[in-house]
Amino acid sequence: MGIDDGLGDESLWLRRFAPADQAVNRLVCFPHAGASAPFFLPMARALAPTVDVLAVQYPGRQDRRAEPCIEDIPTLADHIAHALTGSLDRPLSLFGHSMGAVLAFEVAQRLQRDHPGRPAHLFVSGRRAPTRLREETHHLLDDEGIIAEIRSRRGPQARAMENPEVREMVLPTLRGDYAAVGRYRYVAGDPLRCPVTALVGDRDREAGVEEVRDWEQQAPDGAFEFRVFPGGHFYLVKEIAGVVSVVSDRLAATTGTGLRR
């Protein structure tokens, strides 16, 4: 299917959990592998009403469960960038965690190519810089291997995987997302023109501190910030207040507004 036959529709891809129609800034959030849009519900609530938060819903989960996963990062980015064309009426920034960081980066490249001045800011979390290649073969594991991998990360999906019915629903999505990430290869393009903020947990085995610091290579000179939080790959679950503070402060610097506490 192509973008013009419906897969790029905003209603398919974007969820708004805390509408903020009067907000100056808009933030689009990209979940990690196997996750769905509600992962960013706490961030949406924390940033409203000052920031209008949209969360991306990938195919193959929740209300899109009947759709096959798209196992290709550039194709996913094409669809999401197209879906965002109706959301560019105010400064728009991107936040992605893990797989979502790769997607946010690819969408940022497409937006700045087609819509000069967008995005206003790119936030990448828990993901190595695209120039830091590691072979990722989680999608080649059997079901028990994938379950063991999820447990080792101690993420929000680990407990849910104990339920056989949930496991049956989630495993194909995880495998598809892992395949998309594992096959992804960075292709150098036009340098980003927006500021970049990279965030990581200090005990993240999936994305080492120095590997995440290398996102600076993708940022304009003098427009990079790096923040390290306590925790592992899913540090942002416990450190949501600190993450929200960083996001709010950076958006305030961009447009002169922020989250008023």
pLDDT tens for the chain, residues 1 to 261: 455 555 567 889 999 999 998 999 999 999 999 899 999 999 999 999 999 999 999 999 999 999 999 999 999 999 999 999 999 999 999 999 999 999 999 999 999 999 999 999 999 999 999 999 876 666 556 777 777 777 766 666 666 666 777 677 788 888 899 999 999 999 988 899 999 999 999 999 989 999 999 999 999 999 999 999 999 999 999 999 999 999 999 999 876 544 433
Domain that holds residue 244: 7-132+188-250
Are 217 and 143 spatial neighbours (Cβ–Cβ below 8 Å)? Answer: no
Q: Identify whether 163 is part of a domain.
A: no
Strand partners, 26: 52, 92
* Spacing of C-alpha 80 from chain mean position: 12
Q: Identify whether 140 is part of a domain.
A: no
Closest CA to 31 of 84, 102, 91, 82: 102
Residue 134's pLDDT is 73
Closest CA to 32 of 95, 85, 122: 95
Residue identified by tokens 């105010």 is 90
Could you give phi then psi for residue 259, rounded to 5 degrees?
-80, 120
Question: Is 98 in the active site?
Answer: yes
Secondary structure of residue 194 in the 3-state scheme: coil
Cα–Cα distance, 37 to 201 (Å, whole number): 21
Q: Identify whether 36 is part of a domain.
A: yes
Number of structural domains (the chain) is 1
Q: Identify whether 106 is part of a domain.
A: yes
Residue identified by tokens 């409203």 is 48
**Amino acid identity for residue 59 in this structure:** P
Cα Rg, the chain, nearest whole Å: 17
Q: Which of 93, 98, 125, 248 is catalytic?
A: 98
Residue 1's pLDDT is 44
Q: Assign 3-class secondary structure to 120-143.
A: CCEEEECCCCCCCCCCCCHHHCCH
Q: Identify whether 170 is part of a domain.
A: no
CATH of the domain at 67: 3.40.50.1820
Spatial strand order in the sheet of 25-30 = 14-15, 51-56, 25-30, 92-97, 122-125, 196-201, 224-229
The pair of three-digit structure tokens given for residue 157, joined into one six-digit string:
């999906």
Q: Identify whether 238 is part of a domain.
A: yes
- CA distance readout (Å), 140 to 52, 64, 143, 164, 177: 38, 24, 9, 21, 12
Closest CA to 70 of 151, 123, 3, 167: 3
Q: Identify whether 168 is part of a domain.
A: no
| pTM greater than 0.75 (yes/no) | yes
> Assign residue 98 a region: left if phi > 0, alpha if psi is -120 to 50, beta otherwise?
left
Q: Which of 36, 121, 233, 248 is catalytic?
A: 233
Could you give phi then psi for residue 185, rounded to 5 degrees?
-135, 130
Question: Is 233 in the active site?
Answer: yes
Q: Identify whether 72 is part of a domain.
A: yes
